[in-house]
Structure 1
Amino acid sequence: MSGLSELSRFNENVLSKYQIYNSIFMTLPFDTISNTGVLLPLFHKLCEKGFQEGKNPTEIVDTFFSKYQENPTEKEKTDLLFRFIQYIERQVVLFDAIEDAAFPVVNNMDGIGTLRNSKETAILGDKKEALKAHLEDFKVRVVLTAHPTQFYPGSVLGIITDLDKAIQNDDLLLIKKLLAQLGKTPFYKKAKPSPYDEAISLIWYLENVFYHSISKIYNYIQNNIYDGNPMDNEIIDLGFWPGGDRDGNPFVTTQITLDVAEKLRQSILRSYYRDVKKLKRRFTFDGVQEILARVEKRLYKHVVRSYSKVNFSQKILLEELLNARQIVADNHQSLFIEELDDFINKVRIFGFHFATLDIRQDSRVHHQAFTQIVKDLHTVGDTTFPKNYEHLSEEEQIEILAAVKGSIDPKILTDDTSVSTIESMYALKQIQKRNGERGANRYIISNNQTALNVMETFAMLNLCGFENGLPVDVIPLFETVEDLQNAEEVMRTLYSNRTYRYHLEKRKNKQTIMLGFSDGTKDGGYLMANWGIFKAKEALTKVSREFDIEVIFFDGRGGPPARGGGKTHQFYASLGPTIEDKEIQLTVQGQTISSNFGTQNSAQYNLEQLLSSGIKNDIFTKDQLNDDNRKLIEDMAETSYKTYVDFKNHPQFLPYLEKMSTLKYYAKTNIGSRPSKRSNSATLDFSALRAIPFVGSWSQLKQNVPGFFGVGTALKKYEDAGRFDEIVAFYNTSDFFKTLLENSMMSLTKSFFELTAYMADDPEFGEFWKLIFEEYKTTKRLLLKLTGHTVLMENFPIGKASIEIREQIVLPLLTIQQFALKQIQELQSSDENAAKIEVYEKMVMRSLFGNINASRNSA
C-alpha cells in the first residue's frame, strides 16, 4: 500500500471525522456561563495568525479579549481561559478515540511487519523451518511502568473506549451523549494517586487489552507456523513495575508490593473465571462439563477471597484443562476444541501472575542498607562477615559476598533502609509461593556502577533463606555514559566469579542486563546515549559469548525519542549480528502505553511489529556497521556529546529551566505518586532531577532539546569539511543510523520556537534562547539536506499528519500556558500578588495535562 493511499485513508477516517464530531462537540449545551464553544475557534485563529506575525503569547491573549469581549474583569478573563483549557483537553480525547477507532483501517493489519507478512515472506523464501526454529526461544517482554506521563483518570479511559466503539459504528446519538458526558467528567485528580492506585490503572490495560491481543498472536503462531502443535515458549511476556519499583517511587512499601502482586493474581483469575463461564456454554458434554464446573468453582473461590494457604496453581489448572481436551478429542470429535485451546494458551502465557512484578532499587540505597546490615550482624555476634570486612579490597569483598547464605531476621536490623530492602527481598519469596516463580523473579539495580553493587544485592538475596539456589535474576542497570563504558569490565568480573557463574547455570545460562536511555540522554545527549548503548551492547555480547552466557538486553526505552523511544520496532530490526537479540525487552510508559497498546487492534499490531523486528534481524537481514561508518558515528557522537555537555554546563541552563519552563509545576500536580526529583534539596540539582520532568519541561516549551541538541553541530562539522557525502552514504546504507536520525526528526517536528520567540528579547535569557534556536535550525536544515526531503517526516505521512493535527489542537493551550508563566514572572516582583499568582500557577498546571496527553504519538 502506498503512503498516499494510507494518507488518504487517514484523512477520510480520522481528519474528516474529527472535524465533524468536533463541530458537534463545540455546540453542546453543557456550558452555561458563556459560549466557550463559539469563542475557542476565534481564539485559535488569533493564535495562528499572531505567531505568524511574530506576536508573543501575552499580546495574542490581550488582542483576543479586546476584540471579542467588552471590558472583561480579571476574573472573567481567567474563567474563560480555564474553560478553553477544559475544552481543549476534551478535544484531545476525541481525537484519541477517533484515531483508535480508525487504527485497523489506516494501518494495514496484514502488511509489512505483521506476522502474516513474516510468515508469507518466510514461505516464499523457503525459510519456514528457520522461522519456526527462531520462534522456539525468541521472546518479547513488554514491561509496563507507572511513570506519570499521561494523566487520564480511569473514568476518562472508559469514555475513550466507549467513544472508540461508537465511532466505529457511526452511532451519532451515542457519540453525542458520550461527548456531553466527557464535558462533565473531571480530568484532574484532586489528590495524588498512591503507587497502588497507579498499579490498578495499569491493570486495566492487562485485563482489557493484553489478555486478548497476546493470546490472539500466540494462537496465530501456533496454528499457522507450528501447524497447530503445542509450543514450549510463551513468546510474549509481560512485566510490571508499579508497586515494585522502589527507586522509581520512594513511596513504595513492601505491603504495597505484596498488595499489587495479589491484585495481579486476582485479576488474571477473574479473567479465567469469565472465560470458563463462556466455555461451559459450549462444552455441555459428559466428562468435560464436570471438569469445567470444578474449575469454575475453584476460580470463583480464589477471586472472591484471598486465601492465605495456596492450594491452586497454574500446574493444577493446566492438568484439569488438558484432561478436558483429551476427552473432547477422544469422545466428542474435537467439537469447539479451538476455543478450549485458546483458553489453555492463555493459562500457559499468563499463569497465576498475569505480569512479572519487578523489584528495582538504586545501588546507593543498597550500599547504605548493606553497610548497616554488616554492622548489625556484628553487633549480634553473627560471623557471616569478618570484623575487618569494610577494610578489605573490592576483590576480597566480592569473594566473601559470593559465599553468603542464611536467613536474616529483619527485626535485628536497626535502620529503616536496611529493613525495607530485606523485606522487599522476602516479598519476592512470598509472591513466588502464591503467584508462581514468574510472579516476581527479577531484581534490578539502578545506577549500577561496579561489580560490587551486583554482589551486595546477590548476597542480601542469599540472606533471605531461598532454598535450592536463588530463583531470582539479578539485573544491573547501566545508565550514564560512564557506566555504559564500564559495563563490560563489571560483567567480566561477575562471570569470572565461580559462585555467580554457578548461579547463572541454574538460571539457564542467561544474564539480563538493563540499559537506560532516559537518564543516558539527560546525561550525555541524544547521539551519545544511543551510540553509547549500541557499543555497550556489542561489548557485553562479546564478553557474554566468551563465557558461554546468553545475554538478554532490557531497554529502558521510555516514550518520546528524547527518552530513548521513537519507532521502536525499526530500532530493533536495525541491530546487527554483533548484538545478542534472542529476546527483546523494553519498558513502556505513560502515553506510549495508551498510544501503542491502548486498544486490542493497536496492541496486536505493535506487538507483531516487535516480534517481526526480531525475525527480520535474525532471518532475513543483517545490518552490520563497517569500520568507516563506525569511525563516522563515533566522531559524531563525540562532537555531539561535547556540544551537549557544554550546553548543560552553561550558567543559564538550570536557571532557564527553573524560571522559564514548567519544571517546578510537575512536582505540584497530582499526576503521579512519586516526587519529581530524587533528593529533597531546595535548590535544583541536575543529577537528582528525574528524566521525565526534565524531558517534559523541554517538550512543554516546544523546544525538545534532549531529542536533537548536538546532532546539528555534529552534522555541520562534516558539511564544513566538505565530507557531507560520507554521512549521506552512511544514512542510506545503515538502518541503525537512519532510525536514529528519523527519531530525532520526530523531536524536531514537535518543536515550535515561535511560541517562545519573545524570550529572545529577555535581558537574562535572550542569548541562551538564541543558542537553542540556532542548534534547532542547524539540525533541521542538515537533516533535510541529508535525507533529501523538503519537510521533516516526509516519509512518514500518517505520523506527520497525526502530529500536525495534535499540535494544532493544543496551540491555544500552549499559548495560555506561556501567557500564564509570563504573568507569574511579572507578578513576582510584588508580595501583594500572592492570590493572583496562585490562579496563574493553577492555569500552568492544568495546561500541562492536555499538552502531554496530546503528544501520545511520541512512541
Structure 2
Amino acid sequence: MRLSQKKAAFQNEVLTRFDLFKSLFLTLPFQRVKHTGTILPFFTTHCEKGVEEKLTPEAIIDSFFGQYEQYVQEDDRLDLLFRIVQYIERQVVLFDAVEDSAFKAVGKSDETAGLDSVFRLAQSNPETKKQVIERLKEMSVRLVLTAHPTQFYPGPVLSIINDLIELLKLNDIPNIHLLLQQLGKTPFINKQKPTPVDEAISLAWYLENVFYRVASDIQSKIDDELELNSGDTSRIVELGFWPGGDRDGNPNVTWESTNRVATLLRTILFRCYYRDFRIVKRRITFRGVETYLDALQTLLYDNSFNPKENPEDITEEILFNLKEVKRVLLENHDGLFVELVEDLIRKVQTFGCYFTTLDIRQDSSVLRETFNWLLTQYPNETEIDLNTIGDDELAKEAAIKFSEQDLAIENVPAPLVEDTLKVIRLIKQIQSSGSERAVQRFIISNCQQASDILGLMQLFLWQGWTKKELTMDFVPLFETVDDLKRAADVMRSLYSNKDYATHLKKRGNKQTIMLGFSDSTKDGGYLMANWSIYKAKIELTAISREYDVDLVFFDGRGGPPARGGGKTQRFYASMGKEIENNHIQLTIQGQTISSQYGSLDTAKYNIEQLLHAGIVSDLRPKEGDTLTAKQKNVVDQMAAESHKKFLSLRKHPKFLKYLETLSPLKSLASINISSRPVKRNSDKELRLEDLRAISFVTAWSQLKQNIPGFYGVGTALQWAEDNNMWSYVKNLYETSGMFNTIIDNCMMSMTKSNFNITSYMQEDAEFGEFWKTLKEEFDRTKEYVLKLTGMNELMENYPVEKASICEREKIILPLLIIQHYAIRKLGNSKLDDKKAEIYRKLIGRTIYGVVNAGRNLA
C-alpha cells in the first residue's frame, strides 16, 4: 500500500469514524455529559486560538469564561474544567478503540514486513527454509512487562476498550452506545496509591487476555507454516515480569509481595488452563481418554481454586496427560478436535506452571550493604576482613571464596538488607512451585564492578544455596554513560574469574547483560545514550565471543524514543555482524503496554515484527549495518558534541527550577499511579541525579518540549556540516539502519512537541531566555533532520503514525492548557489550602489524559 493510500485509509477508517462515533457521547443519557460535550468544541477552538496568539493559560481560560459567562457561572468554573478533563479522557479511550479496531484495514506505514514474508522465502527455497528453522531453534523474543508508573488505565477500563474494539469492527451501534454509557460511569483513577501487588494484578490483565492467546497463536503459525512438530521450536515467545520483583528504589516491594505476586501469577495461569480445558472436555467425549481427562480435571481445578501453600511444578504431569489424549485421538478417533489439545499443549510448553518469569532487581549499593553486614555479623564464617579489603576492587574479588553457608537472618537493622536476604531464600521456594523459569535471574542495577556480581553470587551461597544447585543467572545492568564505558572491563573480570566461569558453564555458558536507556538519556542526552549503548554492545559482544560465551542482551527499551522506545524492531533488524542478536529481550513500559500489546491484533503484529527483525538480521544482514571505522569515528564525534550541548543544558542554573516550576513534576509524587516513589532518596531535597528517568521524561512531555528525545541532535548535525562530514552523515542515514532509526525516532519525539503552547514564556523575566535556548535547539534540530532526510515535514514517510499523533495532540490540547493554568494558579502564594488542593487534583487528572493519549510519551 502506497503512503498516500495509507493516509487515505487512516482518514476513512479512523478519523472519519472517530468523528462519527464521538457524536454518540452527546446522546448519552447523562445531562452533565451532554452539557460538557456541547461546550467542549467551543473551548477547544478557543484554546487553539489562544495558543496561536501566544496567550498565557490564564488569559486563555479567563477569556473563555468571560465570553461564555451566561452559560458557566463563576462558582461552576472549576467544576466544568474537571468535567472537560473527564470528557476528554473518554474521547481518548474512544480514539484508542477506533484506531485499534481499524488496525488490519489501515496497516502500518513501517517498511518492515512480518513473519509472512519470511515464510514466503522459506517456501520458495529449501535451503532458506532450513536456515529459518535453525534460526528459530536458537532465538527467542522475551517481552518484560515493567512496573513503571505510566500505565494509567485501570483493569475495568481496559476491558471496556477491548470489548469496544470488537464492537467497532462490527459497527454494532446499540452495544457501542451501551459501552460508552458504561465508560461514562467507570472511574479512571485509583482512590489509593497502588501496592506492588495491585500493579501486578493490573498488568496480569494483559497476560490473561492477550499474551496467553497470542504466544500460542504465533507458535502455532510457525509450526504450521514450517511443518514442524509441536515442541521443535517451543518458547520462541517468552514473557518477563517486574511488578513485585523490581525493588530498585521502591521500598514498597518486599519479599512478602514478591511471594504474593508469584502465587498470583501461577493461580491466574491455571485458571486460564482450566477455561481451555473445559472446552476440550466439552468436545472430547470419546472412549479411551477418560482417565487422562479426569487426571487433568483434578490437576487444573485444584491448582486454580484450591492451591496448596507450597505447590509443586506439575508441568510434565499435565503434558503427559494432554499428549496421551492427543495420542488416543489420532489413533482411534481420526484426530477429531486434536487441534484443541495441541493448542493447550503449546500453552503449557510456553508457560509451564509459572506464566511469566519474575525478575528480581536491586541496586548494587543495597547488595553491597547486605554483603558487608554479613561480614560484620559473621566474621568467622565469611572469612573476609573488610578492613583489609578497603576500596580495592581486585582485593575484594580475590577475597570472595564462594563458600557455602547457611547464615541465619537475625537482628538485621536495615529493612532493605533483611529483604535482600529473605528474597534470596524465597527464590528457591518459587522455583520449586514453578520451575527455575518462574524466577531465574537477579538484575544488579547501577552495576559498576565485577565484585557487584560476584558478591551477589556469594550472598546466595551464604543463604543455603549450593554451587551445584545455584539455578540463577546474575545480570549486570549498565545504564549511565560512565557505566557503559566500563562494562567491557567488568565483564572481562567476570569471565576471567574461575568460579564464575564454572557457574556460567552450568548455566549453558549463557550470560545476560542488561543495558538501560532511561538513565543514560537523562545522563548524556539522546544521541550519546544511543551511541554509548551501541558501542557497549560491540565491545561486550567481542569479549563474550573471545570467552565463548553465548551473550544475551536485555534492553531497557520501551515507552518513548527518549527511553529507548519508538521503532524498536528496526533497531534489532540493524545490529550488524559485530553485535550478538540471537535473543531479543526488552522491557515494555508504561502505556506502551496497552498501545502496542493491548489487543490481540496489535500484540500479534508487534511480536511478529520483533521475530522478523531477529530472523532477517541473521539471514539477510545489510552491509551498511556493520559500521566502518570511519563511520564509527564520525558518530563518536557527533555524540560528543551532542553530549557537550546536553550537559551545558543540565548545568544551567534554571534547568531544574524550570522543570519544577512549569511542569507537573511535583504532582507526579502525589497522584495515585504507582507504588514507586518519583525519585530515589524521597525524603531529601530534589536533585537531578535522584530523579527517576521516567519522571524526568514525563515532566518534559507534559510541557510538550520533549527535550530528552532530541536535544543536542541538531547541534551534532550542524557540527558535522561545519566540519565537512555531512556526506558521511548522509551516507550513514541511507545505509545504517541503526542511525536511520535514531533519526526517525528523534523526529517522532519532535512531532509530539509543541513549543507554541508555552511560547508566552519567551517574555518571562525569570525563564524567558532559558525557554529560548530550548526552542533554538528544537528549531536547529528540525532544520537539520529535514535536510538530512530530504523530507519537507517531520515523519513525512510515516503518514499513518503522524496523522495519529496529530489527532491525539488536538484532542488533548485543552488538557494541557488546563494543566498549565492549574500549575500557574498553584504557584500563587495567596491561595488557601482548600483551593490549592483542588488545583493539585486538577493537575493530576490532566496528567492521566495526556499520557494515555500519547501512548509512548513516558
Using the size of structure 1 for normalisation, the TM-score is: 0.97
**What whole-Å deviation, never above 9, does each CA across 1:775-806 have from its counterpart, x for those lacking one?**
00000111111111111001011110110110
Distance of 1:735 and 1:567 partners within structure 2: 11
Distance of 1:111 and 1:345 partners within structure 2: 31
Report the Cα offset of residue 263 of structure 1: 0.7
1:148 aligns with 2:144: no
1:654 aligns with 2:642: no
Q: Which residue of 2 aligns with 1:282?
A: 283
SS in 2 for 1:223: helix
Task: Indicate how the Cα distance of structure 1 residues 244 and 435 shifts in structure 2: closer, same or farther if over 3 A, else same.
Answer: same
Distance of 1:226 and 1:394 partners within structure 2: 53
Q: Which residue of 2 aligns with 1:763?
A: 765
Q: Which residue of 2 aligns with 1:478?
A: 478
Report the Cα offset of residue 282 of structure 1: 2.3
Distance of 1:172 and 1:248 partners within structure 2: 47
Q: Answer whether contact 1:566 1:858 (CA < 8 A) is retained.
A: no
Q: Which residue of 1 aligns with 2:716?
A: 714
Q: Which residue of 2 aligns with 1:527?
A: 527
Distance of 1:603 and 1:411 partners within structure 2: 47
Q: Return 43-52 or 743-752, whichever deviates more.
A: 43-52
Distance of 2:477 and 2:826 partners within structure 1: 40
Q: Answer whether contact 1:511 1:549 (CA < 8 A) is retained.
A: yes
Distance of 2:373 and 2:444 partners within structure 1: 18
Q: Which residue of 1 aligns with 2:47?
A: 47
Q: Which residue of 1 aligns with 2:15?
A: 15
**What whole-Å deviation, never above 9, does each CA across 1:457-516 have from its counterpart, x for those lacking one?**
111012222242310000000010000000000000010001000000000000000000
Distance of 1:25 and 1:300 partners within structure 2: 43
Write out aligned runs for 1:147-546 (5 A). Answer: 147-228=148-229, 230-311=231-312, 313-378=314-379, 381-386=380-385, 390-391=389-390, 393-411=392-410, 413-467=412-466, 468-546=468-546
Let me know the Cα RMSD of the aligned residues.
1.8
Distance of 1:417 and 1:701 partners within structure 2: 36
SS in 1 for 2:471: coil
Report the Cα offset of residue 108 of structure 1: 6.8
Distance of 2:70 and 2:389 partners within structure 1: 75
SS in 2 for 1:688: coil
1:88 aligns with 2:57: no
Distance of 1:667 and 1:642 partners within structure 2: 31
SS in 1 for 2:476: strand
Q: Which residue of 2 aligns with 1:667?
A: 669
Task: Indicate how the Cα distance of structure 1 residues 75 and 33 shifts in structure 2: closer, same or farther if over 3 A, else same.
Answer: farther
SS in 1 for 2:514: strand
Q: Answer whether contact 2:528 2:640 (CA < 8 A) is retained.
A: yes
Q: Return 230-239 or 205-214, whichever deviates more.
A: 230-239
Q: Which residue of 2 aligns with 1:774?
A: 776
Q: Answer whether contact 1:495 1:501 (CA < 8 A) is retained.
A: yes
Selected match of 2:639 from 637, 640, 648? 637
Write out aligned runs for 1:103-114 (5 A). Answer: 103-107=103-107, 112-114=112-114
Report the Cα offset of residue 177 of structure 1: 1.5
Distance of 1:373 and 1:392 partners within structure 2: 17
Q: Which residue of 2 aligns with 1:559?
A: 559
Aligned partner of 2:428: which letter?
K
Task: Indicate how the Cα distance of structure 1 residues 16 and 464 shifts in structure 2: closer, same or farther if over 3 A, else same.
Answer: same
**What whole-Å deviation, never above 9, does each CA across 1:197-252 have from its counterpart, x for those lacking one?**
00001111001000000100001111211444641541111000000001052200
SS in 2 for 1:99: helix
Q: Answer whether contact 2:389 2:395 (CA < 8 A) is retained.
A: no
Aligned partner of 2:138: which letter?
D
Aligned partner of 1:597: which letter?
Y
SS in 2 for 1:476: strand
Task: Indicate how the Cα distance of structure 1 residues 449 and 95 shifts in structure 2: closer, same or farther if over 3 A, else same.
Answer: same
Q: Answer whether contact 2:407 2:462 (CA < 8 A) is retained.
A: yes
**What whole-Å deviation, never above 9, does each CA across 1:245-267 have from its counterpart, x for those lacking one?**
01052200101101100111111
SS in 1 for 2:145: strand
Q: Answer whether contact 1:405 1:465 (CA < 8 A) is retained.
A: yes
Distance of 2:200 and 2:821 partners within structure 1: 36
Which segments of 5 or more consecutive residues in structure 1 lack a partner in the other structure? none
Task: Indicate how the Cα distance of structure 1 residues 858 and 676 shifts in structure 2: closer, same or farther if over 3 A, else same.
Answer: closer
Task: Indicate how the Cα distance of structure 1 residues 383 and 707 shifts in structure 2: closer, same or farther if over 3 A, else same.
Answer: closer
Write out aligned runs for 1:663-812 (5 A). Answer: 663-812=665-814
Distance of 2:714 and 2:112 partners within structure 1: 32
Distance of 2:768 and 2:28 partners within structure 1: 44
SS in 2 for 1:32: helix
Q: Which residue of 2 aligns with 1:837?
A: 836
Q: Answer whether contact 1:640 1:711 (CA < 8 A) is retained.
A: yes
Distance of 1:785 and 1:664 partners within structure 2: 38
Task: Indicate how the Cα distance of structure 1 residues 365 and 229 shifts in structure 2: closer, same or farther if over 3 A, else same.
Answer: closer
Q: Which residue of 2 aligns with 1:58?
A: 58
Distance of 1:227 and 1:418 partners within structure 2: 49
Task: Indicate how the Cα distance of structure 1 residues 136 and 109 shifts in structure 2: closer, same or farther if over 3 A, else same.
Answer: farther
Task: Indicate how the Cα distance of structure 1 residues 764 and 409 shifts in structure 2: closer, same or farther if over 3 A, else same.
Answer: same
Q: Return 7-16 or 254-263, whichever deviates more.
A: 7-16
Aligned partner of 2:611: which letter?
L
Percent identical: 46
Q: Answer whether contact 2:9 2:106 (CA < 8 A) is retained.
A: yes
Q: Answer whether contact 1:526 1:708 (CA < 8 A) is retained.
A: yes
SS in 2 for 1:586: strand
Report the Cα offset of residue 365 of structure 1: 0.9
Q: Return 212-221 or 311-320, whichever deviates more.
A: 311-320
SS in 2 for 1:444: strand
Q: Which residue of 1 aligns with 2:824?
A: 822
Q: Return 622-631 or 737-746, whichever deviates more.
A: 622-631
Distance of 2:230 and 2:41 partners within structure 1: 59
Q: Answer whether contact 2:310 2:429 (CA < 8 A) is retained.
A: no
Q: Answer whether contact 1:147 1:672 (CA < 8 A) is retained.
A: yes
SS in 1 for 2:852: helix
Q: Answer whether contact 1:110 1:117 (CA < 8 A) is retained.
A: no
Q: Return 800-809 or 333-342, whichever deviates more.
A: 333-342
Q: Answer whether contact 1:402 1:500 (CA < 8 A) is retained.
A: no
Q: Answer whether contact 1:14 1:102 (CA < 8 A) is retained.
A: yes
Distance of 2:382 and 2:825 partners within structure 1: 64
Report the Cα offset of residue 383 of structure 1: 4.7
Write out aligned runs for 1:59-78 (5 A). Answer: 59-70=59-70, 73-78=73-78
Aligned partner of 2:702: which letter?
Q
Q: Return 345-354 or 146-155, whichever deviates more.
A: 146-155
Q: Answer whether contact 1:265 1:352 (CA < 8 A) is retained.
A: yes
Task: Indicate how the Cα distance of structure 1 residues 191 and 412 shifts in structure 2: closer, same or farther if over 3 A, else same.
Answer: closer
Aligned partner of 1:42: which letter?
F
**What whole-Å deviation, never above 9, does each CA across 1:652-704 have from its counterpart, x for those lacking one?**
11111111111111001001111100113442111110011100000000000
Q: Return 574-583 or 52-61, whichever deviates more.
A: 52-61
Q: Answer whether contact 1:376 1:414 (CA < 8 A) is retained.
A: no
Distance of 2:170 and 2:223 partners within structure 1: 32
**What whole-Å deviation, never above 9, does each CA across 1:242-297 have from its counterpart, x for those lacking one?**
00001052200101101100111111111111111111122222222331122012
Which segments of 5 or more consecutive residues in structure 2 lack a partner in the other structure? none
Distance of 2:680 and 2:87 partners within structure 1: 35
Task: Indicate how the Cα distance of structure 1 residues 778 and 756 shifts in structure 2: closer, same or farther if over 3 A, else same.
Answer: same
Report the Cα offset of residue 844 of structure 1: 1.2
Report the Cα offset of residue 77 of structure 1: 1.2
Task: Indicate how the Cα distance of structure 1 residues 565 and 392 shifts in structure 2: closer, same or farther if over 3 A, else same.
Answer: closer
Report the Cα offset of residue 556 of structure 1: 0.5
SS in 2 for 1:127: helix
Aligned partner of 2:266: which letter?
R
Q: Return 405-414 or 209-218, whichever deviates more.
A: 405-414
Distance of 1:273 and 1:714 partners within structure 2: 57
SS in 1 for 2:278: helix
Report the Cα offset of residue 388 of structure 1: 5.0
Write out aligned runs for 1:606-645 (5 A). Answer: 606-622=606-622, 623-645=625-647
Report the Cα offset of residue 8 of structure 1: 2.0
**What whole-Å deviation, never above 9, does each CA across 1:544-596 have from its counterpart, x for those lacking one?**
11111011000011300011111110111111010001100000011110011
Q: Answer whether contact 2:375 2:386 (CA < 8 A) is retained.
A: no
